[in-house]
Amino acid sequence: MAIVLATDDTGGPEIFASVQGEGPSAGTPVAFVRLSRCNLACMWCDTAYTWYFEGDARRPGREHRDGVSFERKANQITLDVADAAERIAALGQKRLVITGGEPLLQAPALAELVAALPDMTFEIETNGTVEAPARLDIHIDQYNVSPKLAHSGNPAELALIGARLDAYALDSRAFFKFVIASPQDVDEVLALQRAHAIPPARIFLMPEGTDSETLRKREEWLVPLCLKHGYRLSDRLHIHLFGDTRGT
């Protein structure tokens, strides 16, 4: 079976080792694999090269604020699952972060991938709209669920699937990471928390931004909101360390 990945700056598959930059595992040494394709279209997405391709038919509103699209052939690469697993194992890490794009769009291939890496633990970064099949879910140690709020530009009926949010709220492996661009966005988080009974201790607020200055400015008002509502703060360590670059 094959799996479709994003490319790094060399044109090879975006498989690399680094420290996790966000959420509950921040600072942990991990291997990363970034898959291509997404079912949503966040206007501020910092990995638009995984889905914003030239020539694609677009629904209204499916535009990126940067106004830049990407050539599909240069930004997607297909590997045999066994090849991808071999490259990941060669990095010598104990934990794999599977990210995207939306990784669960390729759940059958992912199930084969994780089965081929029996000595690793796994976390999946997902927008929370797609259910993992049982043969994949049984291997996953952590879900980093990032539901997309209104400021992402995605219609709520596509981005906020009630049954999926309910299921993740009941799953102790799932942590919720909300991207916040303004204090008003937290009102939407509060409404979702109440509607789906999400434990506050499993909610992270993360500033939207792709440079250190923007992140720091937004964290100044995010910290008091975390204190007020019992939420956790997520920084973006990779931005401070490496900038907004692929393979980091």
Are 103 and 47 in contact by the 8 Å Cβ rule? The answer is no
**Alpha carbons 108 and 81: distance in angstroms, whole number:** 10
Q: Is residue 247 assigned to a domain?
A: no
Whether the pLDDT of residue 63 is over 90: the answer is: no
Query: Is residue 248 in some structural domain?
Result: no
Q: What is the predicted pLDDT for the residue at 61?
A: 62
pLDDT given for residue 126 in this prediction: 98
Burial label, 90 (beta-carbon count in 10 A; 0-12, 13-18, 19+)? exposed
CB 239 within 8 A of CB 209: yes
Which residues are within 8 A (CB) of 202 and not within 5 positions of it... i.e. 6 or more apart? Answer: 172, 174, 175, 176
Does some domain include residue 235? Answer: yes
| 44 burial via Cβ count (<10 Å: 0-12, 13-18, 19+) | middle
- Assess contact for 50 and 101: CB atoms under 8 A: yes
- Comparing CA positions, the residue from 26, 18, 27, 19 lying closest to residue 204 is 26
The Cα 37–Cα 34 span in angstroms is 10
Q: Is residue 142 part of a domain?
A: yes
CATH code: domain of residue 181: 3.20.20.70
Assigned domain for 219 exists: yes
Chain segment 14-43, per-residue pLDDT in tens: 999 999 999 999 999 999 999 999 999 999
Q: Is residue 192 part of a domain?
A: yes
Number of independent structural domains in the chain? 1
Which range of residues forms the domain containing residue 166? 2-242
Q: What is the pLDDT of residues 84-141, one digit of tens each?
A: 999 999 999 999 999 999 999 999 999 999 999 999 999 999 999 999 999 999 999 9
- pLDDT digit string (tens) for 67-97? 888 999 999 999 999 999 999 999 999 999 9
For residues 120, 241, 143 and 12, what is the CA-based torsion angle, rounded to 10 degrees? Answer: -60
Residue 12 lies in a domain: yes
Angle at 102 (CA atoms; ends 138, 37), nearest 5 degrees: 130
Residue 44's pLDDT is 96
